[in-house]
Amino acid sequence: MSTSSATLVALLHGPDQPGLVARVAGWIFARGGNILHADQHRDMEAGVFFQRIEWVPTGAPGVEQRDTEDFYAFAESLGMEAQVSVSTHRPRVAVFVSKADHCFHDLVLRWKAGDFACDLVAVVSNHTDLAAAAQGYGLTFYHLPVTAANKPEGEARQLALLKELKVDLVVLARYMQVLSADFLDQVGCPVINIHHSFLPAFAGGKPYHQAHARGVKLIGATAHYATRDLDEGPIIHQDVARVTHRHGVEDLVRKGRDLERIVLAQAVRWHLASRVLVYGNKTVVFD
């Protein structure tokens, strides 16, 4: 029985072919690993196989690094793309905020309660409104103004900070600035955004006002990876709430805030647990 406290998690996908599940399980068994959880999915239309598998490697020193490197080579031999993470690694996360504080407080309190296996290393904002709150939580706050006039320079400072802090994930907790294509090309890590509508409906600004004007009976929130195309990145999680003709815009905003908290937190949790596999502009989210 392994004495290692670490587990390895592999996400892999590629062309479907007979025997993939057996070959992956056999590779782990041959190295003395013990599989804790395995889940797979096949896209019937595209013929693509997806798998998430978690295992305990043998307790030998350095085995996690060795098995990680070797698994990439093994996946390549199967014609598969892979991502491998080690449970003992705590990703370094930066939270971007503006003035709205509901998602920010929710994320930080969940993190303090141990819900997220990560380290919050920075709170970055284009305003100073949440500086005292961040410092009250013991988090380092960085005020880096970004305006239409200084956007390239402002984003350059943000990118330099993220690189200096070796950030693994950026979470946009109602950060009310559109990240440029250059920023997203250079950031070097995933960026998760929360949009206050049930995408693809009501993309862009003032989605609750758009929803109210349209007379919808459901409003929603969407957590997705940010890409060059505004509000069109791969969707990680969504949820909805019912509304009626009796609800005004402020009612929609209030109900939406609750959705935004829950949806963003769940998306971040799944990402940190290596449960989200992106392919094309879609995701597979494993249970």
- Tell me the per-residue pLDDT of 157-190, one tens digit each, with 9 for 90 and over: 999 999 999 999 999 999 999 999 999 999 999 9
pLDDT of residue 206: 86
Is position 110 within any domain? yes
For residues 81 and 108, membership in a common domain is answered with no
Per-residue pLDDT reduced to its tens digit, 233-248: 999 999 998 999 999 9
Tell whether 61 and 145 lie within a shared domain.
Answer: no
Query: Are residues 100 and 66 part of one domain?
Result: no
Domain boundary among 86, 105, 129: 86
Domains contained in the chain, number: 2
Q: Are residues 38 and 162 in the same domain?
A: no
First to last CA, the chain: 26
Residue 77 sits in the same domain as residue 120: no
Last residue within a domain, chosen from 86, 110, 143:
86
Calculate mean pLDDT across residues 199-214: 84
16 and 139 assigned to the same domain: no
DSSP string of the chain, one letter each residue = -------EEEEEEEE--TTHHHHHHHHHHHTT-EEEEEEEEEETTTTEEEEEEEEEPPSSTTHHHHHHHHHHHHHHHTT-EEEEEETT---EEEEEE-S--HHHHHHHHHHHTT-S-SEEEEEEESSSTTHHHHHHTT--EEE----TTTHHHHHHHHHHHHHHHT-SEEEESS--SPPPHHHHHHS-S-EEEEESS-TTTT-SS-HHHHHHHHT-SEEEEEEEE--SSTT-SPEEEEEEEE--TT--HHHHHHHHHHHHHHHHHHHHHHHHTT-EEEETTEEEE--
Q: In this structure, are 80 and 96 located in the same domain?
A: no
129 is catalytic: no
Task: Write down the pTM of the prediction.
Answer: 0.92
Are residues 114 and 99 part of one domain?
Answer: yes
Catalytic residue among 101, 229, 231, 258: 231
CATH number of residue 109's parent domain: 3.40.50.170
∠ CA 263-6-80, rounded to 5°: 70
The domain boundary residue, chosen from 57, 86, 115: 86
Look at the block and give the residue holding tokens 């940190």: 272
Q: pLDDT per residue over 113-123, tens digit each?
A: 999 999 999 99
Asked if the model's pLDDT at residue 39 lies above 70, the reply is yes
Average model confidence (pLDDT) across the chain: 93
Per-residue pLDDT, averaged over 53-77, amounts to 90
Question: What's the average model confidence in pLDDT over 42-71?
Answer: 91
Identify whether residues 81 and 21 lie together within a single domain.
yes
The reply to whether 2 falls in a domain is no
Name the pLDDT band for 1 (thresholds 50, 70, 90). Answer: very low
Average pLDDT (268-273) is 98
The torsion angles phi and psi of 98, rounded to 5 degrees, stand at -120, -100
pLDDT grade, residue 230 (50/70/90)? confident
Q: What is the pLDDT of residues 131-146, one digit of tens each?
A: 999 999 999 999 999 9
pLDDT class of 99 with cuts at 50, 70, 90: very high
- pLDDT category of residue 280 using cuts at 50, 70 and 90: confident
Q: Which domain holds residue 270?
A: 92-285
